[in-house]
Structure 1
C-alpha cells in the first residue's frame, strides 16, 4: 500500500471521527436544552406576593410587638426575677413563672377588651367589647383623616389641634342653647366637622400658597390650639362654666348627646355608626370618585399629576379640608359621646397622635384603618384591666404600640425574621449552561482532527 493510500485512509477516518463528534455535540446540546428547569407556575408568584404583602407584614408586626411586650412583662415581673435567682438548680421554675406572668397579662388584656369569662351572664361578659368599640370610635375617625392625607402625599401631624378646635366648636353648640333633639345633635356635629376642617384647611392653604411644609405647620398649630383652648376655658362667657373657677365647660345638653346603642349600662354610643359611615365615605372617595383619583395621583407623583392637568395646589387644600374634618369627627365623639359632663384641656387624650399609628398600621386604606382602630381600642380598654388585674404597668401597652409602628416602618426586618419573600420578586429558574450548537461542535472537531 502506497503512502498516498494511507494518507487518504487517515483523512477518511478523521472525517468520520469529525462527523461522529458533531453528532455527539448535537445530541449533547439537545440534552442540555431538555435539562433546563421549567419556570415556576404563576400560582407560586401570587402566593409569594401575598406572603410578602402589606397585610401579612402588618399582622406579623403586631405579633412581633406582642412577643417583645411579653419579654418586657417577664423581665419586670417579681416572680420571674425571684425564680431566675436559682435558675441553674431548678430552671423549670423560671419558665413556669415566665409563662404565668405573660399568659396572665395577655389573658387580662383579652378579658378586658373582648369578653370577660368571669362575668355573670353574657350581657356583662360582652361589656369589654363595647368598651373597645367606644375607644375605637374616635381612633377610627382620626385615623381616616390622617390616612387620607397620607394617600395624597401629605403628613397631617396636626390631629391634636384639629380635634381640640372641633371639640370646642361642637361643645359650644352642645351646651350654649337648646334645640330639638335631632337638629341640635346634627348642628353640633356639623360645627365640629367645620371647625376641624378649617383648622386643617389653613395648613393646606399655606402649603399651596407659600410652600410651607405641612409637618412644621401642623405641629405649630397644635400649640396654638392647645393654648387657645386653655384661654377659652378660663374666659367667662366663652367655654368656661358659669360660676366656676375651674377650666372646664358646662355639661352638654341632653339634646346634643349621641344616643346609646345598647342601653345605659354600656358606654357604646352612636358615634360608632358615624365612624363606620366615615369609613364607607373615604373608601368611596378614594376608590370611586374623580376627586379621590386626583388625591392618589398627587400622592404618587405630584409632578406627573401636574403635567396631566391636575391642579396640585388646589388638591392640597381639598385634602387638608377633608382630613381636618374627619379628624374633627373624633373630637365630636369625645365631647358628645364620652365626656358629656363637660370637658377640659385634655379632651384630645392623645388620640391625635395615636391616629398616626392607626393610619400606618392600616396602610392608609379605609378598611385597614377601621380594623387598626378596633385593635388599638382593644389595647386601650384591655390595658386598664391588665393593670388592675395583674399589676402590669399600662405603659407596656404604649411600648407595644410603639413597637408596632417600628416594625411596620421596617418591612425588610419583618421579612427577615419570618423569612418572607419580597413581593414582585420571583426566583429565576436554574438552567444548565447552553450547549454548543452542532455547527460549533463540527468546527471544534475539525480543528482537533487537523
Structure 2
C-alpha cells in the first residue's frame, strides 16, 4: 500500500492524474456543448460499470486484457524500445492457446499451464523477431512491430481455417473444458458474468514485471541498455542480446493476455477481419500508467471502466459512445504532452505564492 501511495504522489504520476482530470473536464464541456448532462452521463457510466455484481464482473473482464497489453508496452518502453506490436503478440498467444486447448486432451492442472506457457512463448517469440531485426539489422522496432501485427492477424486466420475451423462457422472449434480459465462458481459469484481467473494471472505478471526490472541483475542490464546503449556496451553489457530479451519478455506479457482471452472468455478464436484492439489500447494504458506495473494496472482500470461503461452513458444519458473515445484521446494527449500539464502546475504554484 505504501508503494502505491508513493507512486500516486510522484510528480510523473501527478501529471497522469491531472491529465485524466483535464480529459474528463473537457469531456464534460463537450457534453454541455452537445446539450447533454455530464453528471447524469458520468453517473450512468459508473452505474453501468459497477451497478451490480454482473456488471462489476464484466468490468473486471474488460480490464484484464488491458493489464496484459499495458504491461507489455510498458516493459518495452522501460528498456528503451517502442513495442507497437502487442496486438500481434496478443493474437499469436491466443492462437497457441487455441491450438493446445483443442488438439491436446489432459487434466486441467496440466492443460491450463501448458496452454499459458505455449501462448506466452509464442507471443514472446513473435516479439523477439522485431528485437532480432533491431539488434542485428538496425531495423526500427516501430516499423517491424506494426508489420508483424498484420502478419499475425492474417497468419492466425489462415491457420484457424486450415487446422482448427469449426465446420460452418468463422471461428475455431471450442477448446476442451480442461483448459478453461473460467469456472461456473466464479461466474455465479459475479451474477453470471464472464469474469475469469486471468485477472489473477495479470496481477501476478505485474509483480513479475517489477521483480524482473528492479530486483534482478538482468533487469538492471535491460534498463541500462534502454537508458544508454553506448555506455552499456562500454561497461561490458551485451546490448544486442538484451534488446532481443526485452522484446521477448514484452511479447510474453501480451501473449499470455491472448491466452486468457481464449481460455477465459470466448473458449475459441474467431477469424477476425480487424484487430481486437487490446494491443493498441495497451499503448494508452502504458502512457497513462507512466510505464510502471502499478500504473499499468490503474491505467487498465480507467480504460476498462470507460470502455465498458460507455454503453451506460448512451442508454442512461443519451451520450454517444464515441464521446468516450474522445475522452480517452484527450487523456492520452495530455499525458503525452506532459509539458503542458507541468506548466499548469508551475502556474498554479506561482499563483499560490503570489496570493500568500
**Fold match, TM over 0.5?**
yes
**Which of these residues, 149, 162, 187, is aligned with residue 263 of structure 1?**
187
The answer to whether 1:187 aligns with 2:105 is: no
**Which of these residues, 40, 43, 57, is aligned with residue 104 of structure 1?**
40
**Which residue of structure 2 aligns with residue 247 of structure 1?**
170
Does the 8 A contact of 1:196 with 1:327 survive in 2? yes
Q: What is the correspondence of 1:292-371 to structure 2 with a 5 Å cutoff?
A: 292-345=219-272, 349-371=276-298
Scaled by the length of structure 2, the TM-score of the pair is 0.90
Does the 8 A contact of 1:294 with 1:310 survive in 2? yes
**Which residue of structure 1 aligns with residue 71 of structure 2?**
144
User: 1:135, 1:396 → 2: CA distance?
Assistant: 19
Structure 1, unpaired ranges of 5+: 1-49, 81-97, 117-124, 428-450
1:365-390 Cα offsets, whole Å, 9 max, x none, are 11111111111111122112222322
Does the 8 A contact of 1:189 with 1:332 survive in 2? yes
User: 1:109, 1:418 → 2: CA distance?
Assistant: 29
User: 1:135, 1:112 → 2: CA distance?
Assistant: 13
1:57–1:228 Cα change, 3 Å: same
- Of 377-386 and 323-332, deviating more is 377-386
Scaled by the length of structure 1, the TM-score of the pair is 0.72
Does the 8 A contact of 2:171 with 2:268 survive in 1? no
Does the 8 A contact of 2:182 with 2:263 survive in 1? no
Report deviation, 1:52: 7.9
User: 1:312, 1:342 → 2: CA distance?
Assistant: 37
The answer to whether 1:56 aligns with 2:14 is: yes
Does the 8 A contact of 1:415 with 1:421 survive in 2? no
**Which residue of structure 1 aligns with residue 5 of structure 2?**
none
Report deviation, 1:68: 1.3
User: 1:326, 1:221 → 2: CA distance?
Assistant: 16
Q: Which of structures 1 and 2 has the bigger CA Rg?
A: 1
User: 1:263, 1:396 → 2: CA distance?
Assistant: 31
Does the 8 A contact of 2:161 with 2:172 survive in 1? no
Report deviation, 1:314: 0.4
Report deviation, 1:188: 1.0
User: 2:49, 2:319 → 1: CA distance?
Assistant: 15
More helix by share: 2
Report deviation, 1:191: 1.1
User: 2:144, 2:312 → 1: CA distance?
Assistant: 38
Does the 8 A contact of 2:125 with 2:248 survive in 1? yes
Does the 8 A contact of 2:153 with 2:275 survive in 1? no
1:420–1:170 Cα change, 3 Å: farther
Structure 2, unpaired ranges of 5+: 1-7
**Which residue of structure 1 aligns with residue 158 of structure 2?**
231
**Which of these residues, 146, 164, 180, is aligned with residue 91 of structure 2?**
164
1:291-324 Cα offsets, whole Å, 9 max, x none, are 1111111111111111111111000010011000
User: 1:137, 1:294 → 2: CA distance?
Assistant: 29
Does the 8 A contact of 1:52 with 1:415 survive in 2? no
Report deviation, 1:420: 5.5
**Corresponding residue pairs, total:** 339
Report deviation, 1:346: 6.0
**Which residue of structure 1 aligns with residue 136 of structure 2?**
209
